[in-house]
Structure formats: C-alpha cells, structure tokens
Amino acid sequence: MIISHDLGTTGDKATLVDETGTVLAAVTETYGTDFGPRGKAEQDADAWWAAVCAATRRLVAQHPAALDRVEGISFSGQMMGAVLLGDDGRPVRPAIIWADTRSVDQTAQLVERVGMEKGYSITGHRLNPTYSLSKVMWVRDREPEAFARTRHVVLAKDYVVHRLTGVLATDPSDASSTNAYDQSTEDWSGELLDAAGLDRALFPEILPSTTVVGKVSAEAARETGLREGTPVVLGGGDGPMAALGAGVLDAASGAYAYLGSSSWASLAADAPLHDPRMRTMTFNHVIPGRFVPTATMQAGGASLEWIVSTLAPGDDERYSRLLSGAAEVTASEDGLYFLPHLLGERSPYWNPKARAVFAGLARHHRPAHLTRAVLEGVAFNLYTGLRAFTENGASIDHVDAIGGAANAGVLLRIFADVWGVPVRRRELADEATSLGAAIVGGVGAGVFGSFDVARRFAENRAEERPDPAAHQRYAREYEIFMDAYRRLEPWFETL
C-alpha cells in the first residue's frame, strides 16, 4: 500500500491506495492563505506539516491494519512557490505561494538582464512574478533580515519530505516551475541564477520523482503515526502529477483539464512545446524524458468558488443550486461576459495586473446568469491554451476533466461546446493528483512495475460531446471575450 499526499492550495489530501490502484480512503485537512495588497499570497509551511500529520493519523485510524502494509509515502505539491529555510531547516518567514505576484520589479530585472525570449527558451516558461526565482529576489530586496538567515529554498512538497526524513531535495517537475531550471541541461540555470544574483547553493539537489530519498524518522513517526523507517518517495509537482493520475503519459494520451483553485489545460510530449507567442509553458513530467506543455490560469475553480460564496454565503446548498440555475440560462449569448482574472493572469496574457470583470451586465441578469458567465469565462480562457497547443502541432481529439469541479455536468457541457471536442470525466476526478502521487510512490517503492499502471487506473465515467451549432456560436462569442481583454488591458495598468 501507498500513502500519498496532495499539498494543494486549500489543504492536504491524504490518500491510501492499494496495489490495484483502488483508493481505500481519502481525508483532507485544510489550511488558510494570507491574501493581501499588491498581490500578496502566503501560507504557513508548518501548517502544511500539521495538516500532513493530522491527515495521516486520520487515515491510520480508519485503517489501522494497513499501517504495517504501507510500503511508501509520496507527495504531490503546489508548484512555483518559495519556502525559505534557515540553518535549522525551518522557515525563516511564511511560504510565498504560486498566487503571489509582488515580485514584478524583480521580474523586470530578469527580463532586462536575460531577455524574455531567452528566458523562455531556457526554462520553457515566461519570466514572470508567479515563479519562485523572482519571489526569492523579492525577499532579498524587501526583507533583507529574513534573507540573511536563509540557507535553502525549496517547494511545498520538498519541505514536508524534509520534515519526514531530514533530506533536502527536489525533482525535475517542481524544479521546472521555478524559472531557474534549464530544461536542456536538466539542472539549475547558471545564467538565470547569475542574473538574479542568487547563489546556486540555495537550491537543492534535483533527483528523479521516484527516488526513495530517505525513511520516516523517529520524530516524524511520533508526529504522523507512521512506522519509523517507512520509505519516503520524493514525488513531484501537482500539475505533472495530475497528468499521470489522469492517464496522460505520452503524446497519444490526449489532453486533460484540471479544475482546481487554479486551472489548466495540458498534455504530454516527448519534447518541450514552445509557443512563438509564449502563451503556454512546459513543465517536466514526473515520467523521465517526458514533458507537460501547459496553459494555466490563476483563478479557474477559484472563480467558481468566489461567485458561489459571494452570491450565496452560508448556504449549504448554494453550489448545486447556482449550477442548476446556470444550466437553464445563457450568458455570452445574452451579451454577458466574465473575465476570470481574480488573481491576475498567467496563460495567455501573463499579466499580474489583470483583474476580473463582468462586462455587459443588464437589469434582467440574475445570479444564475452571473454564475453561467463565470463558467463560460473559465472555458474561454482555457480554450486559448488548447488553441495554442494545436497551432503548434499538437493533436487533441478529446479532453479529460479532473479536479473537484469536473463533477459539475453543466461545466463539462460548456467546455465541450466551447472547445469543440468531447470532454470526459474520469472515475476518480477528485483523486487524480493523489493517484498520480501514489503511482510515483508505488513505482519508487517497487509496488508498481511502471508508470503504465496509470492507464488502467484512470477510467472514464461520463462524456459530453459538443453540439456543432453551439460550438459555432461560442466561436463568435470567444472572439468578443478576447476583444474585451484587449480593450481593458490599458485600463488594468491604471489600477
């Protein structure tokens, strides 16, 4: 058996998976985020550890007989953040997470010194404030006392692995989310680190995702309830891990869309897929030698969460009620659009100053119309990434939807009609990332013979096929949606 942890933005999901890929139990422990002015987004890294300990104990309590059969523990983690550790291996300040966009000035320095095109060719990503490198520069420039105490920089899952084993390491998938990783040399980029003015020694060793980096220490065993000596597999970033859990192993696997707090469309490839317009980025897969071209928006599921909590606070049935209403009305067809940039935006604009906008509001619009506009806005935004993939040679004949919002039938119907391809929901839509982490853990611990087991674990349970007439109509409305951003972009600069 494998215990996997998915350290997401809102909480840690711990999952117990057996050797057949069956999810025997899953529990979630939540933690908060400190959102603040000028793009601040921070979390307490020790709250991650506390959540991992509590979730593991809950799993063990549910299946006490399984404890002696656990052959490994593995991790998926939120990417693009920065956890700054001191000599004692503990955080010197709160962790800066992916959503933080305060390092605009530091990113501008990188662009000036390296060039945006050169940075993209090295890393597979634009140089952008959402990535780790400029976040570390920001701490150095704005919090020199904290930076003076910093000895190591890691990502979310790396910190928890360190608490379990005492080992500091990361893997290629997470390293590729930092703006500091050279995908051609498979190591930290000396050119980018020099441009950032940061010491290579700050960044950990890069090891394969399936590496057994150590064993659960006696202290960690007491805190988590695990057996001392349980093997710990390094794991990887949540995007590539979700791809694995969705069965997206190679170019023949099709595309998938993840519908979490941030949302993305992605596929697997044998080489980085560079877009001349730099709308998309490419992560390393957790599978060696594979890559994950990706188009990520900052607030996908977060936009849906926001509209539901805003329109119906404290209503336990609000989610299903608003989605049911959204299925009965139109939005863009009625001239109502939502630009879903609540946290700035990555793909396709890479503009931290972008903001969310309702455009076309009329007196007759009700909560159902607003909710429908949010769903369509997310679909339109992700469609730009899918178009970028196909324009650069990828073939997409279907999209598999995973993540919590994938259970919403109305959302899948909208996606299918906007994107013009069948959209399928996986059996374990909510568990894909955790399942990916379990597969990596199982391969590392010798439970699974290869990554190919993902193909039989990821089964389809529902499919929405596009309505050709609706797709044609949405194609016109998509152009209006895109035009709205172009017209508003200069205004965003004034906010």
pLDDT tens, residue by residue, 30-71: 999 999 998 899 999 999 999 999 999 999 999 888 888 999
Sequence-separated (6 or more) residues with CB below 8 Å from residue 417: 466, 467, 470, 471, 474
Q: Which tens digit of pLDDT belongs to each residue from 110-127? A: 999 999 999 999 999 999
- Rounded to 5°, angle at Cα 264 from 262 and 267: 150
The H-or-E segment that residue 237 falls in is strand 236-237
Half-sphere exposure of 89 (CA within 13 A, CB side): 13
SS3 93: coil
Task: Give residue 14's identity as a one-letter amino acid code.
Answer: A
Q: What is the pLDDT of residue 197?
A: 98
Composition of the chain by helix, strand, coil, percent to 5: 45, 20, 35
With 0-12 / 13-18 / 19 or more C-beta atoms within 10 angstroms meaning exposed / middle / buried, residue 474 is buried
Q: What is the pLDDT of residue 458?
A: 67
Question: What structural domains does the chain harbor?
Answer: 2-234 (3.30.420.40), 246-495 (3.30.420.40)
Q: Which two tokens stand for residue 116?
A: 């945006």
In 31-120, the DSSP E strands lie at 34-36, 40-43, 72-77, 83-85, 95-96
Q: What is the pLDDT of residue 429?
A: 55
Q: How many Cβ atoms from other residues are within 10 Å of residue 205's Cβ?
A: 13
Interatomic CA distance for residues 453 and 450, integer angstroms: 6
Q: What is the pLDDT of residue 460?
A: 67
Q: What is the pLDDT of residue 23?
A: 85
Interatomic CA distance for residues 258 and 246, integer angstroms: 9
Q: Which two tokens stand for residue 260?
A: 């979490």
SS3 452: coil
pTM assigned to the model: 0.87
Which one is predicted more confidently, 435 or 171?
A: 171
Q: Which tens digit of pLDDT belongs to each residue from 243-260? A: 998 888 888 888 989 887
pLDDT over 90 (residue 430): no
pLDDT over 90 (residue 459): no
Handedness of CA 360, 366, 370, 372 (dihedral sign): negative
- Rounded to 5°, angle at Cα 112 from 110 and 113: 65
Across the strands, what pairs with 188? Answer: 181
Q: Which tens digit of pLDDT belongs to each residue from 287-315? A: 999 999 999 998 998 999 999 999 988 77
Q: Among 161-175, 207-221, 242-256, 261-275, whose mean pLDDT is lowest? A: 242-256
Closest CA to 79 of 249, 229, 266, 254: 266
Q: What is the pLDDT of residue 446?
A: 93
Q: Which tens digit of pLDDT belongs to each residue from 318-375? A: 888 899 999 999 999 999 999 999 989 988 998 989 999 999 999 999 999 999 999 9
Interatomic CA distance for residues 495 and 480, integer angstroms: 23
Sequence-separated (6 or more) residues with CB below 8 Å from residue 313: none
Interatomic CA distance for residues 160 and 124, integer angstroms: 27
Residue 271 φ/ψ, nearest 5 degrees: -150, 155
pLDDT over 90 (residue 457): no
pLDDT over 90 (residue 81): yes
Alpha helices in 129-171 (DSSP H): 132-142, 144-148, 156-165
Share of the chain above pLDDT 90, in %: 78
Sequence-separated (6 or more) residues with CB below 8 Å from residue 115: none
